[in-house]
Structure formats: structure tokens, C-alpha cells
Amino acid sequence: MSDGIVTCDACPVLCRIRPGKTGACDRYGNVDGALRRLEPAVVLERALERDGRLVPFAGGAWDGALLRDGDSFVTGIGAGTTYPDYKPAPFIVSSRVDGVDMITVVTEGIFSYCGLKLKIDTDRYLGPEQAAVRVKGEQVGHVTTAEYGSQMLSVGGVHHLTGGSKKEGVVTCDAMLDLCALKPVEMTIDGGATVVVQAGKAPVIDGKHEERMRVGCGSATIGIFARQWHGHADEVVVVDDHITGVLTEHQAGRFLGMRHAGIRVRGRKSTPGRYFQVANPGTGWGGTDITEPLSIIESIDPKTAWPGMRLLMVSTTGEHAAWFVLDDALVPRPAEMPRVIVDVVDRIGENCEPALCSVVFMAGAGGSLRAGVTGNPVRLTRSVRQEVTRVTSGGAPVHVWPGGGITYMVDVTTMPAGSFGYVPTPALVAPLEFTMPVDAYRAMGGHMDQVRSLASLREVDRLEGRPWPAPHPWPLG
């Protein structure tokens, strides 16, 4: 264009970029009058094995000279986009793997239809189900169903990215991008807590770092530790927001032949020794709102209980515990906890895994993105379903949902740094790779005239090699 301005066609925004400037997404720029993807295209290199020992990655600067069939994997990171995919994917690369000719189709997908599923390991109450999750006052998601020992949030999605106000879309996009980049994001939940979420780190709930994920519900805790309490406590109540356990009523206590202690806790009895709704949800004992454990005891049966009866009340993480002995009036009185009981309470804590935040990116790649792979997109979908084509994201393994389309999920901590970007529509940009035998690619109507060899990538001036993270499965395996 005139005055050296170039128009970027990498997304529908069609930025007009002046010389030396970048587009709105900061991913493309005008370099000497030409449109360029600014970040390097990332190739992952697997270490070689020689004489039974692994030879480390090249180390230091990498010039692309080590591209090896079967040991080099071209990712979508920095590859560029072709959305709405009226042209073939940026890189369609051939290589030979274990004697088989393979094709890897590489692109950066632009996803308006994407979101994050956040798993927050805590029993503490974050907010009511379906409550709005907000960042900077804007709703970016909602609280979803709690899972075992974890609270779950759903963030993003097309309705928050594009269906609300412009500010809501921008804040949602920024929050998702930060979470995918393993950065902390503070969220407030209507009617609930303030939580700082960071992938791979412990959650911070109302200013307090969470340390432990519960060992199990109250009933499960009874089942695990009943034998260790037997003979040292006459009754144990494990306080839990979901299922509070009472040892002598529980099947575990009956199996051990324990004498019924006559303590009735509040709430709705489910089965013997298992009680629902003993208190309201909260950030106290066992994810309830109580700070005084005796408050959940509704009655003590004088015909069954006895003076001197030993009572332990404990939470599902072992963070809260109290020891009582009944006096002559059958009133629980605080007493010094015996060493053997302290050890079992400590063992509850030992069996609690560290509390972490997990961030899973979820996106639908069932639209025009497939046209960058083949002129007959449904054949790509079928090939993925039949497990002929492997889907990866930045080389990381993904889970593809059953049903129509290519809806996938990937743990952001398994992906290389710098995997995600954005466009100001707003939408997130994420790497995607489709790998299959060359015969399968030809049969699905792939863009065979655009296939280039792995060795030809040495000519790409913005290539960057990185070592493959060993704990993860090799995508060409």
C-alpha cells in the first residue's frame, strides 16, 4: 500500500500497519514493508540416545542445523494463522518417522469459542454454584459443580468474549491469556470468596494460601483411619461440608465392634455414620462455616454415652482437631490430646496432597480451521475420531471430546512458554498440530501441493529450537 503501509490478513481485524509498527495483537508487524510474524516459530527437539546415555539438547544458540526426522517436531507456536482459512495452513511438513512417511499440519488457531476450566484444590467455600466469577468487576465465568476435594470454575467462552460489553470481552480475554501464561489472576465470586488462581501454584483464598487438598470426605476419612483410632478414641467425628462421618455409627466402627457412643450430629442422616448438611458452607472446619466443632453436636444420649468417654473432632485435612472427654454430666470438656491421636491427625495431613490450581484450556477446532488442512474438512474430523490423526497443542497431548467437531482440552502447564496469544476481536490464539501418515493426508484431500520437507525449515529465518520436556509423551511416538 502507499506510504509503506501493509494490511495484515492473519485475522478478520485487517490491521493497517505502518512501517516499524505492529498490529493490534502485537503478533504481526511491518518489517521493511513486508508483513511478518514477529515471534519465532518453535521446533521441539528430542534428545538422542548414544551408548545407552541421553545426549542433551544442543544447548546454547540453535541455528536449525539439528532438524532430524523423528526427533524434531514442528509446533504451531509462532507459525502464523490463516483464519478464516481460505488458504492452506502456514506449515505443512513432511518427515519420516520409524520408516513411515508422516505429515504434520501446523497452525495457530484463532478461538472465539474457547474457555478455561479451573480446578482449585480446596474444601473451602468459594461461592454458590452458578455464581458469577468476576475480574475487575466484569463477569468472566461462573462457579460450576464441585468435584472431590476441589472447587471448579468455568472461565471464558464465547458469551463472555463476544456476547457482552466490549469491556467484558477485553477483561475476559486478558484474564484467560494471563492464566494460560501461568500468571496469577485475582477473581471475586458473587456471594463468596476472593481467590487468586495461578496454574501449578497453591490457591490464595481470602488472602490465605491453601496448603492441603483433603484426604477424602468425612466418611472416607473414617474408613481410612478407623483402625488407627480404635482403642484410643471412643468416638470420632470428621467434620465435612459434604459428608460428615461418625465413627461408631459408621460401617467401619461396626466392623471393629466399637460400642455406640450416643452422639447425634446435626444435619440429614444419609446412611449409618454419614451425615449431610451439618452446617453451612464456609472457610472453617472441613469447608463449613463453623469455628467451634461442638456446635454441630445436636444431642448426647445419656442412655448410651458414659463419663470419661473420649471424643475426637477433626477436619478432613487434619488442619483442625480437638480432643474432649465427657464429664460426669456427659458434657464434653477440652483435654490434652494423647500422643497417639496427635500422630493419626498428623497422618491425615501427611495423606493430603498439596493444594494446587489447575488450568485447562478448552477450544473448538471444528470450524474453518480444518480447511487449512484439507478441502474436505469432515474427513479431518473423522480421521481424528478414528485416531489416524493425532492432535497436539504446542506438542502437548490433548484430550479430544467425543461427539461432533474437534473440541479439545489441554493442560496449560504442559505447553511450552509463549504458546498463547490473542487477537482484539477478542479471541485467544493457540497452537495446534495435526499429525498423520502421508497416505491418510492424501486420502482426506489434503493440500499436497503445499507440503514441504522438514529440512526446508532451515531456510526459515525466525526458527527457534527448544528441548522437548522429557516427562511428556513425544508427539511423534
Say how far apart CA 120 and CA 128 lie, in whole Å.
15
Say how far apart CA 359 and CA 345 lie, in whole Å.
31
Say how far apart CA 185 and CA 175 lie, in whole Å.
7
Amino acid at 179: L
How far does Cα 319 stand from its chain's mean position?
26
How far does Cα 404 stand from its chain's mean position?
23
Say how far apart CA 270 and CA 274 lie, in whole Å.
6
Q: Is 472 left (phi over 0), alpha (psi -120 to 50) or beta?
A: beta
CA 94 to each of CA 9, 34, 106, 280: distance values in angstroms, whole numbers, following the listed order: 26, 27, 11, 59
As a whole number of Å, the CA-based R_g of the chain is 28
Once rounded to an integer, what is the mean pLDDT over residues 64-77? 81
Q: Which region among 62-76, 152-166, 327-341, 412-426 has the lowest average model confidence (pLDDT)?
A: 62-76
Is residue 49 predicted with pLDDT exceeding 70?
no
Once rounded to an integer, what is the mean pLDDT over residues 342-350? 97
Q: What is the grid cell recorded at 272?
A: 449409618
Task: Give the bridge partners for 464, in sequence order.
Answer: 42
Is residue 455 predicted with pLDDT exceeding 60?
yes
Once rounded to an integer, what is the mean pLDDT over residues 109-120? 95
| pLDDT digit string, tens, across residues 229-281 | 999 999 999 999 999 999 999 999 999 999 999 999 999 999 999 999 999 99
Backbone angles phi, psi at 17, to 5 degrees: -110, 125
Q: What count of residues does the chain have? A: 477
Backbone angles phi, psi at 407, to 5 degrees: -100, 120
Residues 103, 427: contact at Cβ < 8 Å?
no
Q: Which region among 69-83, 135-149, 216-230 has the lowest average model confidence (pLDDT)?
A: 69-83
What integer pLDDT is reported at residue 439 of this predicted model? Answer: 96
Once rounded to an integer, what is the mean pLDDT over residues 150-168? 95
Pairing between β-strand 41-45 and β-strand 463-467 as defined by DSSP bridges? parallel
Our CA dihedral for 48, 50, 55, 61, rounded to 10 degrees, sits at -70
Say how far apart CA 88 and CA 171 lie, in whole Å.
32
Q: Is 347 helix (H, G, I), strand (E, B) or coil?
A: helix
What is the SS3 assignment for 219-243?
A: HHHHHHHHHHHECCECEEEEECCCC
Residues 366, 111: contact at Cβ < 8 Å?
no
Once rounded to an integer, what is the mean pLDDT over residues 170-194? 97
Task: Give the bridge partners for 444, in sequence order.
Answer: none
Q: Which region among 78-87, 200-209, 354-363 has the lowest average model confidence (pLDDT)?
A: 78-87
Say which residues have a Cβ less than 8 Å from residue 104's Cβ, sequence separation at least 6. Answer: 73, 74, 91, 92, 93, 95, 433, 434, 435
What integer pLDDT is reported at residue 66 of this predicted model? Answer: 62
Is residue 50 predicted with pLDDT exceeding 90?
no
Say which residues have a Cβ less than 8 Å from residue 342's Cβ, sequence separation at least 6. Answer: none
Percent of the chain's residues with pLDDT above 90: 76
For the purposes of burial, counting CB atoms within 10 Å of the CB of 5, is it exposed (0-12), middle (13-18) or buried (19 or more)? middle
Angle between helices 218-229 and 339-350 (to 10 degrees): 140
Say how far apart CA 289 and CA 335 lie, in whole Å.
24
How far does Cα 91 stand from its chain's mean position?
29
Report residue 173's pLDDT band, with 50, 70 and 90 as the boundaries: very high
Once rounded to an integer, what is the mean pLDDT over residues 174-188? 98
Report residue 183's pLDDT band, with 50, 70 and 90 as the boundaries: very high
Cα 147–Cα 395–Cα 426 angle in degrees, nearest 5: 70
Q: What is the grid cell recorded at 462?
A: 525466525
Cis peptide before 426 (omega within 30 of 0): yes
Q: What is the grid cell recorded at 341?
A: 491421636
Say how far apart CA 208 and CA 190 lie, in whole Å.
19
Pairing between β-strand 274-276 and β-strand 244-246 as defined by DSSP bridges? antiparallel
Percent of the chain's residues with pLDDT above 70: 96
In 132-283, which residue ranges form alpha helices assigned H by DSSP? 158-161, 166-180, 218-229, 251-255
pTM of the model: 0.88
Say how far apart CA 111 and CA 367 lie, in whole Å.
10
Give the mean pLDDT of the chain: 91
